[in-house]
Structure 1
Amino acid sequence: MVSGAAAAAEPSPTPAVTLDDLRSQIQLMQERLRSLEAQANALAQAQGTPQGSVAAAAAAPAKTAVAAKPADPGAATQIKWEGSPRFTDASGLTFKPRGRLLIDAVDVGVDRDNAPTYKSRQYRARQLFLGAEGMIGPFAYRLEGGAANGSAWSWDDAVIEYKTRDGLLLTVGNQKVGGLENLTSIKTITFMERGPFGDLTDSGFVLAAQVTKLGRNWSLRGALQGDSINKADVTTGGYDANNTRERSGFMARATWAPVMTPSDTVHLGASVRYRDAGGETGFTYSAAANTAYRPQNAAGGVYLSTGAVGKSDTTWSGEAAWAHRNVSLQGELAQIRVDRVSTALSAANGGDNFNVVTGYVFASWFPTGEVRPYSAAGQFGKIKVLRPIDKGGLGAYELALRYDYADLSKMSANTVVAPTAQPGLATAGTYEGVTAGANWYPYNNVRLMTNVTKAKINNRRVGAVENDADVTVVQARMQIEF
């Protein structure tokens, strides 16, 4: 018999925890974790920013700046390594230096039926660029420029951005607006150059005021555009000495990704651009065989060019891409409606309106398993090397093949002067080319590239001249960025 004191001292029996109870608790925690992850993903999508924008590059500092508390004079500046150091002070202000160095070797051979063979070999700096980016309160900035192709210093990015509370991104400065390959940085495009499509659509950096809106898997952007920030003010017009109005226009782009997962992407997009030459010399539609080394004939020019014939133009473009893990396909097609200058302004370049058609398609494969990352802004970004060489791996390898096409042959002769006095006629032909490329990424910020291009240019005979050409270009590049 147990005494009352002893009975009081004994602990109460603990109810047995069954296996079913444990399963229920684990299931409840898993459901709560999934709910929190869904909320975090929804918030990230709602606050999405176009890849490549300053705000995207400094998203975390941007949030800090908006919700920042008064600066603590004693607080230390935070430093985060992102290829180069990003400095963040207590108020949320950020600053990060950036730059890139692209060194090329280019060998060009041009065979012609009725003229001497042209050969050229050059070792050159494709780009030597330095710049910076950062945040000042809710405003972001990016400034980057340097020497390209042996020319004087010029600016690429020179922009100021502001993101409104409802998610609109407002950007003013020297920038690009449209095109899948065009908006992909030269640091991350699959091939060394964008090919004839990039040359002919001519959607490079210009001063513009742009508005961008992103959804979960779509994007809309539009801009009013001028000329490049590097263009000096002029006092004499191209055809009329008293007309010095700078070129102007607008561009809009829309994209949608019906499939957008970490391993699979289906991208669709379209863009339109209208521009007017104003008082400047007419637009020229000119292309080279997959290289920024444009002198591909003995006169220092190329064999595919209309001359300065465009008073204004309208470009309609369609784009599509498919990616499944380490394999991807991408292509774009554009039609440029050219409104020619009048023969009264230029007897050599004037004439009837015509269309230019150009496009490309390429395939890319990473044998080492890397994936081309895609964002809701309708852009492919920088790959992440899975096994860099400093981690005992071999780096990332990429093999790619591209087909290019361009047709300028719809440009016709005018009846004011003889065809031989209209220089663009002899080089307004068709282009077909195939480029094979191999890339090696030993680290995320280092890339070695080789491209081989075989191209055929067919031009019409004008008098005794027919500028048909078979072009072979062999290129190599070493690239480093920070």
Structure 2
Amino acid sequence: MLASVAAAQEAPQTDAASLEELKAQIKVMQERLQSLETKSAAKPAAAPAPATQIKWEGSPRFTDASGATFKLRGRVLIDGVNVNVDRDTGASYKSRQYRARQVFLGAEGQFGAFAYRIEGGAANGGAWGWDDAVIEYKTKSGVLLTVGNQKVGGLENLTSIKTITFMERGPFGDLTDNGFVLAAQATKVGKNWSLRGALQGDSINKADVSSGGYVANNAKERSGFMVRGTYAPIMTADDAVHLGVSARYRDTGGETGFTYSAAANTAYKPQTSAGGVLLSTGAVGKSDTTIAAEAAWKHKTVSVQGELAQIKVNRVATTQSAANGGKDFNIVTGYALASWFPTGETRPYSAAGQFGKVKILHPVDKGGMGAFELAGRYDYADLTKMSPNAVTALASQPGLATAGTYKGLTAGVNWYPQSNVRFMANVTKAKVNNRRIGTIENDADVTVFQARMQIEF
């Protein structure tokens, strides 16, 4: 009993001591908290992380905090084409077509020193295919290394179809055949010069080769190389003089021989009732070497340019093809064009040896009338150096009947209501002279009317 009383008397003293100890701990915690708040207030507020930037360039270009970019790109080209072929012998031919020249969609972007560009779609009513499909790397010395489906040479060829003066590149573009192929390319651009070289294969859209053309067990794809150099002794915003040369060698490998054919300023190839063209050698080339020269001059609203090429064709052997084999021969082709903007615009020229997108001075969406461009072009091609062989009859060598000459004039007018939209109209009058094979004479007068509505972003 006495023990219980003593314990009860000690309890209030113990509780009081614990309470005092708790108060002391709370006071220490308050002092520490106040100290932390003071230190935090003294520090500047952390800057918020930079947000992704968006810049409108026909479509939005996204740029994140690291500098990486992404942009959608694409184009729609809708054409109307009317072809009239008046033949010296045989039935004349007429054709009209409303068509999607190109409906393309793609993207481009950059990650540090690496960049990519990919764009493809349906062209000329065909299946989906790729044009650009490249990966790029720029070295510290300024050399651009590019691997993928790409172009290498030619002034008009390297100028995008979105910005070339006429709707098509004409017979020169068809015969030199400098389109998109898989290649590994190195490019260096100086203050007023450029140099590029590439190892080339075939198009990325071509299926894998399982057998050869003329040699069934030789399934090698075509290969080659190309170099191009340009120099601009005059290069200002208003004036430019462009000079350039290029050389290309390519070999068919195990494929069927190269065919050299052209149409009258249209990608709508049918110009005969059988769906063919009037100027073609057939599949005669085992390999070829093309040497080309290019020149251009512009002064404010006026520009002139031209290219000339010689294609040395190393022909397939008659043992491989009695119909297409024979002696080696040369093809010569070229063009000259002139352009004038009565509304005051100028064709922008870059040190890379290319013409770029025209800047519209008074676009329709800002109250102006847009830009108008008037242009003319002369085209020439000579395939007549291809000679017959003695292995088979002339009638059994089909390319001989269409390996002639081409001379054509094209007039064009372009209206640019704003930078990303263009309306085009072209009229071409051409004369094809072919050799007579027996009673067959494939000479023809060709008239082509074309119109296009184009939008790109």
| TM score, norm. by length of structure 1 | 0.85
The offset of 1:73, in angstroms, is 8.6
Residue 259 of structure 1 aligns with which residue? 234
Task: Supply the distance in 1 between the matched residues of 2:399 and 2:95 (Cα, whole angstroms).
Answer: 24
One-letter amino acid matched to 1:216: K
Residue 236 of structure 1 aligns with which residue? 211
The offset of 1:214, in angstroms, is 1.1
Residue 337 of structure 1 aligns with which residue? 312
Residue 423 of structure 1 is aligned with which of 390, 393, 398? 398
Tell whether 2:117 aligns with 1:142.
Answer: yes
Task: Supply the distance in 2 between the matched residues of 1:241 and 1:278 (Cα, whole angstroms).
Answer: 12
Task: Supply the distance in 2 between the matched residues of 1:188 and 1:250 (Cα, whole angstroms).
Answer: 27
Residue 326 of structure 2 is aligned with which of 348, 351, 356? 351
Residue 440 of structure 2 aligns with which residue? 465
SS of the aligned residue for 1:162 comes to strand
One-letter amino acid matched to 1:112: R
Task: Supply the distance in 1 between the matched residues of 2:91 and 2:119 (Cα, whole angstroms).
Answer: 42
Task: Supply the distance in 1 between the matched residues of 2:303 and 2:225 (Cα, whole angstroms).
Answer: 31
Structure 1: give runs of 5+ residues left out of the alignment: 1-71
Residue 96 of structure 1 is aligned with which of 56, 71, 90? 71
Tell whether 2:268 aligns with 1:293.
Answer: yes
| Closer/same/farther in 2, CA of residues 271 and 221 from structure 1, 3 Å limit | same
One-letter amino acid matched to 2:194: S
SS of the aligned residue for 1:125 comes to strand
One-letter amino acid matched to 2:125: G
Residue 68 of structure 1 aligns with which residue? none
Residue 251 of structure 2 aligns with which residue? 276
One-letter amino acid matched to 1:274: Y
SS of the aligned residue for 1:367 comes to coil
The offset of 1:91, in angstroms, is 1.0
The offset of 1:116, in angstroms, is 1.1
| Post-superposition CA distance 1:256-277 (Å, at most 9, x none) | 0000011000000000000000
Residue 398 of structure 1 is aligned with which of 370, 373, 379? 373
Residue 317 of structure 1 is aligned with which of 292, 297, 306? 292
Residue 412 of structure 2 is aligned with which of 437, 447, 454? 437
| TM score, norm. by length of structure 2 | 0.89
SS of the aligned residue for 1:462 comes to coil
Q: Where do 1:20-419 residues align within 5 Å?
A: 74-419=49-394
Tell whether 2:443 aligns with 1:454.
Answer: no
**Structure 1 segments of 4+ aligned residues over 6 angstroms from their partners:** none
SS of the aligned residue for 1:200 comes to helix
Task: Supply the distance in 1 between the matched residues of 2:313 and 2:239 (Cα, whole angstroms).
Answer: 38
| Post-superposition CA distance 1:380-421 (Å, at most 9, x none) | 000000000111110000000000000000000000000100
Task: Supply the distance in 1 between the matched residues of 2:229 and 2:50 (Cα, whole angstroms).
Answer: 44
User: Larger Cα Rg: Structure 1 or Structure 2?
Assistant: 2
Task: Supply the distance in 2 between the matched residues of 1:390 and 1:175 (Cα, whole angstroms).
Answer: 34
| Post-superposition CA distance 1:155-184 (Å, at most 9, x none) | 000000000001100000000000000000
Q: Among all aligned residue pairs of Structure 1 and Structure 2, give the percentage whose two residues are the same amino acid.
A: 78
Task: Supply the distance in 2 between the matched residues of 1:73 and 1:130 (Cα, whole angstroms).
Answer: 36
